[in-house]
Amino acid sequence: MSELSFEQLPLSASIHRALADKGYTTPSPIQAKAIPVLLRGQDLLACAQTGTGKTAAFALPVLHGIAERPRRTFRRGVRHLVLTPTRELAGQVAESFAVYGKYVQFRSGMVYGGVSEKPQIKMLFQGLDVLVACPGRLLDLMDQGHVDLSQVETFILDEADRMLDMGFIRDIRKIEKQLPKQRHTLLFSATMAPAITELAQAMLHQPEEIRIAPQGTTAEKVDQSVCFIDQKAKQHLVMEMMHRRLDQRSGELSLIFTRTKHGAKNLARKLNAQGLRADSIHGNKSQSAREKTLESYRRGEIDILVATDVAARGIDVKNITLVVNFDLPMEADAYVHRIGRTARAGASGHAVSFCSGDEVALLRQVEKLISQSVPVDSGHDYHDQAAMDLHLSNRPVKKPPQGGGNRPGGNRQGGPRRGGGRRPGRGGRNVQGSSRGGRRRS
């Protein structure tokens, strides 16, 4: 947190009041840097992960503008447009606007796919001060003439890297074409991949650049480790870890990432079968089912959530103290997003990654991105020395094909149990230092 207090920021009194209600006194670093830039009306290119307070960084100046210059919304018109990659994130952004803007008079709404268009069309008809939208559905509604973006004052791209990963680039470009040239544009991204820089060049005008964490930097407070393990033994290790956590740390939540929807569903079922309170969220679940699951997770009615990357995007749940990468992500960026789900708002957290021999290439990509080696935890019953040796060697390894190779939950019958060794987290981890004795990073 910075030295600045919110009182020193020239935001409208109604916003200060809402912040005081929330108990926020000090702007987070991204807020301290971005808010003055945005109040000046300058475009912004911000490299910041979720958990840094980036939502308020853009929501507060937008709400300030609405409070200071109230305007009647016009039919189908939108004054401030926020694009988000997923419905979950759209919901959280809209909720943040509602919380920070509780004393500001404004109309806001959301559009996202997977639900009926009708209520969204009706809501758009009266015009909105703030629209939070997922690109695909917004474009559909634009094509049908239900939304007029010709008077947008602020255009915000939230989690732009994820939108590009999800293939929204063409939709974003089409949407942007409908916006006035004279506008205020903000782009937030967890990483600054070349595609993001290119997008920023096309859409932003002389932006101020802010980097809250250098590219790929993982949340500082996350204690990371990697367990080398055969794919088939992963379920055994995760079960043991979850049982142990339940014994030792009640009330703390665990988030497990699998690569496929099927893997998420399957693993949650297996955890349930062992008497653990787990559920899953993935793309095959309806929006209302996902929201229901997230709500029980937030309330602590379930301790373990198994999720795919897309479904987990934007989850903002405070009590997550452990993230398990049951499968390493195909794209290294996702690793940073995943582990950012723990250690939020100043808390500390752990991230444990399972790496099978087939995933060594993925681990190398992660380490390259975060510019550090992830400490190895070999003190568990299933340690796979061969996978570790492969990782430490300079031998070239192939990246598994998307959706193939390491099928999560691949061990339908359960894998071999190696006896004897110490278990992770019991009596201290056998973590091998992060220095790799001259291993050349791939």
The answer to whether the beta carbons of residues 110 and 86 sit under 8 Å apart is: no
Closest to ligand AMP by CB, 27 vs 379, is 27
**Binding segment toward ligand AMP, per CB under 6 A, in 53-61, 157-165, 276-284, 285-293:** 53-61
Closest to ligand AMP by CB, 83 vs 229, is 83
Question: What SS3 state is found at 24?
Answer: coil
Please report how close the Cβ of residue 28 comes to ligand AMP at its closest, in angstroms.
5
Number of residues that bind ligand AMP (CB under 6 A): 15
Give the Cβ contact number of residue 442 at 10 Å: 15
- Does 235 engage in binding with ligand AMP (CB under 6 A)? no
- Does 24 engage in binding with ligand AMP (CB under 6 A)? yes
**Binding segment toward ligand AMP, per CB under 6 A, in 20-28, 170-178, 295-303, 392-400:** 20-28
Please report how close the Cβ of residue 407 comes to ligand AMP at its closest, in angstroms.
32
- Does 50 engage in binding with ligand AMP (CB under 6 A)? yes
- Determine which residue in the list 20, 202, 273, 345 makes contact with ligand AMP, applying CB under 6 A: 345
- Does 51 engage in binding with ligand AMP (CB under 6 A)? yes
Burial of 233 (0-12, 13-18, 19+ CB in 10 A): buried
Closest to ligand AMP by CB, 162 vs 344, is 344
Q: What track of x and - describes contact with ligand AMP for positions 306 through 325 (by CB under 6 A)?
A: ----------x---------
**Binding segment toward ligand AMP, per CB under 6 A, in 51-59, 69-77, 108-116, 156-164:** 51-59
The answer to whether the beta carbons of residues 229 and 356 sit under 8 Å apart is: yes
Closest to ligand AMP by CB, 29 vs 400, is 29
Please report how close the Cβ of residue 54 comes to ligand AMP at its closest, in angstroms.
5
- Does 400 engage in binding with ligand AMP (CB under 6 A)? no
- Does 108 engage in binding with ligand AMP (CB under 6 A)? no
- Determine which residue in the list 27, 29, 61, 405 makes contact with ligand AMP, applying CB under 6 A: 27
Q: Cα angle vertex 42, ends 41, 45, to 5°?
A: 135
Q: What track of x and - describes contact with ligand AMP for positions 154 through 193 (by CB under 6 A)?
A: ----------------------------------------
**Binding segment toward ligand AMP, per CB under 6 A, in 50-58, 121-129, 160-168, 287-295:** 50-58
Please report how close the Cβ of residue 52 comes to ligand AMP at its closest, in angstroms.
5
- Does 28 engage in binding with ligand AMP (CB under 6 A)? yes
Please give the Cα distance from 216 to 330 (Å, whole number).
15
Closest to ligand AMP by CB, 289 vs 347, is 347
Closest to ligand AMP by CB, 34 vs 332, is 34
Please give the Cα distance from 124 to 158 (Å, whole number).
21
Please report how close the Cβ of residue 314 comes to ligand AMP at its closest, in angstroms.
8
- Does 289 engage in binding with ligand AMP (CB under 6 A)? no
- Determine which residue in the list 18, 38, 55, 131 makes contact with ligand AMP, applying CB under 6 A: 55
Closest to ligand AMP by CB, 28 vs 86, is 28
Closest to ligand AMP by CB, 191 vs 258, is 191
Please report how close the Cβ of residue 192 comes to ligand AMP at its closest, in angstroms.
17
- Does 54 engage in binding with ligand AMP (CB under 6 A)? yes
Nearest to 350 by CA among 213, 211, 435, 241: 241
Give the Cβ contact number of residue 414 at 10 Å: 12
Q: What track of x and - describes contact with ligand AMP for positions 357 through 396 (by CB under 6 A)?
A: ----------------------------------------
Beta-ladder partners of 355: 228
**Chain positions contacting ligand AMP, by CB under 6 A:** 24, 26-28, 31, 50-56, 316, 344-345
